[in-house]
Homo-oligomer: A and B are copies of this chain.
Amino acid sequence: MVDRSALASSFHQMFQKSASFGAMGKGVSRVACSPEDGAVRDWFVSWLKTHDFQVIIDPIGNIFGLLEFAGSDAPLVLTGSHLDSQPNGGRFDGAYGVIASAQAALAIKHQVAAGRLIPKRNLCVVNWTNEEGARFQPSLLGSSVYAGLTNIADALAVTDGDGISVGSALEKIGYAGSGTPPRADKYIELHIECGPELEATSNRIGVTQKWWGAIKLQVSVQGEQAHTGPTAMHKRKDALYAASLLIAGVRELADRENADGIERLYTSVGRIEVEPNSPNVVPSAAKLFIELRSYEPEVLQNAERKFKVLLQQVEETTNLPITINDISTRNAGKFDAALATLAWEAAQSNNYATLAVATVAGHDAIALAHICQSVLVVTPSVGGICHHEDEFTSDTDLEAGLFVLTDMLVRLCEDEDR
């Protein structure tokens, strides 16, 4: 029904344009609420308005593009992802799902206008604020506020490393909205896999069945600023030394748990902030951003318990106080089975080799799963690369995901019983 060749062509053109905002090397640097994020949002909103989507900006800056086909009381299918990126990130992570959703919705709108489809549901495209959690922690901020998992006041008060709040950063780029977001009944997110499974197994479409649990901690070591010259070693209160023991210890948690070669536990320290960070000054403070991830709830709980033991050991070794400032837990969970079946059918009807997968990375679809039916559909990432400018998904695979998404939306619009 939909002209696939025209759809693919429009998609590629729009996707290529999206990658010009914050372009850096082969990828993009479009950290949440940065000038680059503001620019891509302005362009996206302008595109939505040009194509007669009803644009709503909510207080956390999520952008909704609504197509009210079936009256304001009809059930709503929401689809999208995020336009923000990591620093020096790839151009596919997030933007792919937003652009594919916009083009799929527009194609359906054309079908409706031509009288070839009488939708039983409304359709809405979304760009979520700060999915990445690079500048502002936690990640999935916009979708978590939407899903009622995070309080809006708390979310707006979150600050970046320079003390700038989400609220003032949103105001600066003009996205501190006041709109009431439409309430979704179903949410579909299309994304690159950000992992190696599909490529390794020669599959084209992944239907994500479940997500890994994750515990994210912010930990602070309190030391004391002193001269690295004359200060006697036994008098030093070196926060970076204590931090180094924690970083090495966090890695060991995984190495021990996975000693049999089965990787049940992933651990990382991705960010460190050191004060005053001067070559000849004993560091007075160090803040670490730590992640523990597992698909087995028991493994994750054990890792958290062992981390707390590690923390005590480092406190004892260094005699410095260490504080857990923040701990956020995302329990492992499952996406909606009915939407997964729909995704599977759409993929099969296109003859795409399809695999059931799990996601270790967080996605907005996980936040949405708490309030409505939700599913995540993924396409291959070459080499499993993600959060890196070398991130790559072939045009053919991008189109496969786009067609599956479009088919899913068409089926949901056509059939109110799905």
- Please give the residue numbers on chain A whose beta carbons come within 8 Å of chain B beta carbons, in ascending order: 86-88, 132-134, 137, 139, 193-196, 212, 214, 216, 224-236, 238, 240-241, 243-248, 251, 254-255, 258, 263, 265-272, 274, 276-284, 289, 291, 293, 359-362, 384-388
With beta carbons under 8 angstroms apart, the residue of B194, B277, B282 that contacts A230 is: B194
With beta carbons under 8 angstroms apart, the residue of B88, B212, B233, B255 that contacts A266 is: B233
Please state if B247 and A233 are interface contacts (CB–CB under 8 Å). Answer: no
Distance between A299 CB and nearest chain B CB, rounded to angstroms: 13
Please state if A88 and B282 are interface contacts (CB–CB under 8 Å). Answer: no
Please state if A279 and B137 are interface contacts (CB–CB under 8 Å). Answer: yes
The residues of B that contact A388 with a CB separation of less than 8 Å are 224-227, 284
Distance between A186 CB and nearest chain B CB, rounded to angstroms: 25
Q: How many copies does the complex hold?
A: 2
Please state if B231 and A384 are interface contacts (CB–CB under 8 Å). Answer: yes
Please state if B263 and A251 are interface contacts (CB–CB under 8 Å). Answer: no
What are 8 inter-chain pairs, A to B, with CB distance below 8 A?
A230-B386, A238-B268, A240-B270, A244-B246, A244-B251, A272-B272, A272-B277, A280-B291
Distance between A201 CB and nearest chain B CB, rounded to angstroms: 15
Please state if B279 and A227 are interface contacts (CB–CB under 8 Å). Answer: no
Distance between A77 CB and nearest chain B CB, rounded to angstroms: 27
Contact (A229, B279) CB under 8 Å given A238-B251, A268-B238:
no
The residues of B that contact A272 with a CB separation of less than 8 Å are 240, 272, 274, 277
Contact (A279, B270) CB under 8 Å given A231-B384, A263-B233, A385-B226:
yes
The residues of B that contact A266 with a CB separation of less than 8 Å are 228-229, 231-233
With beta carbons under 8 angstroms apart, the residue of B134, B234, B361 that contacts A263 is: B234
Apart from the given pairs A196-B230, A225-B388, A279-B289, 8 other A-B contacts in the complex at a CB distance below 8 Å: A139-B280, A226-B387, A229-B386, A230-B360, A231-B384, A233-B263, A233-B265, A238-B268
Distance between A266 CB and nearest chain B CB, rounded to angstroms: 6
Please state if B263 and A282 are interface contacts (CB–CB under 8 Å). Answer: no
Please state if A230 and B263 are interface contacts (CB–CB under 8 Å). Answer: no
Per the bound structure, the CA–CA distance linking A216 and B361 in Å amounts to: 40
Please state if B134 and A279 are interface contacts (CB–CB under 8 Å). Answer: yes
The residues of B that contact A274 with a CB separation of less than 8 Å are 271-272
Please state if B86 and A134 are interface contacts (CB–CB under 8 Å). Answer: no
Contact (A280, B270) CB under 8 Å given A233-B258, A360-B230:
yes
The residues of B that contact A233 with a CB separation of less than 8 Å are 254-255, 258, 263, 265-267
The residues of B that contact A246 with a CB separation of less than 8 Å are 244
Please state if B384 and A133 are interface contacts (CB–CB under 8 Å). Answer: no
The residues of B that contact A387 with a CB separation of less than 8 Å are 225-228, 278, 280-282
